[in-house]
Structure 1
């Protein structure tokens, strides 16, 4: 099945419009392997990412979240929090790797998509195992937290070539595939 076919089938299964174009991580990885590889490195570098959600009143909220990869999904685990309630109400979100170097040497990775509340035991166990692998302990049993799988609409990878004075912008979407542009800075 093509990625476009997968996206339409997946959108319908989630109750979305058939023309929706979002994929799970493994499908994104197949479509844009280099962007996905560099993006995963950035997301896993610190074990944290920044998620932007939409509050009930329509204003944005940003919060840290722990990204994990399991069974072809990018999973976001969070305690019972306002960001989880935001995602249950409106699944649209953005995910961004944390950066701390003002020179841009770490690069930026951004994903736009929809957070799908994980219900299946397979993904829950995958999340729990990925958590245990990273933190050397399992998440507490019975603790009220949510796990979401990020269905990806688009991605951006921004890198800097300091020697050439260039910013390299890689974009991915199902409609356009991977495109790359370079521009001088400052």
Structure 2
């Protein structure tokens, strides 16, 4: 299993920037797979906590049904408009498989699901210094950190 701790250890500055982009707003977007294989997107919240990325889902939610059947997910940071002047922090994405973890003590929904993300990819996309190209940084468990540009 690859955790957020692995990303922090291998490329701490990249990890800090990704975490900051995810922290820019409460609601993130999660993509799950329906029973027929088609995608479903839903709102979610997540936490970076003690070297892990964790999240929970209400017991009756369709996304919980999806991930209990197929744990593969992609999660997108809150979307922020680039400012006219100044630096845009970009957007960030995580992908991986959800691994069930125990519920917090005294949680009121006994059917809720709580998960840690087993990471397969982390990506950060932002405008370059001259604002005429995109910079795409990514981390993969077996390849590490990579930086590319696209015009």
Q: Structure 2-normalised TM-score? A: 0.86
Deviates more, 1:32-41 or 1:149-158: 32-41
Structure 2: state its 5+ residue gaps.
none
Q: What is the Cα-based RMSD across aligned positions, in Å?
A: 2.0
What is aligned with 2:123? 156
Q: How many residues align?
A: 146
What does the per-residue CA deviation read over 1:38-84, in whole Å, with 9 as the maximum and x for residues that have no partner? Answer: 11111121122111000111000001111112232111122121101
| Cα distance, 1:89 vs structure 2 | 0.7
Whether the 8 Å CA contact 1:66–1:78 is kept in 2: the answer is no
Report deviation, 1:162. Answer: 5.9
For residue 28 of structure 2, the aligned residue among 37, 43, 49 is: 49
- Of 118, 123, 128 in structure 1, the residue corresponding to residue 101 of structure 2 is 118
Shift, 1:152, TM fit: 0.3
More strand by share: 2
Whole-Å separation in 1 of the counterparts to 2:68 and 2:77: 22
Bigger drift between 67-76 and 47-56 goes to: 67-76
2:115 and 2:107 map into 1 onto residues whose CA distance is 18
- Structure richer in helix, relative to its length: 1
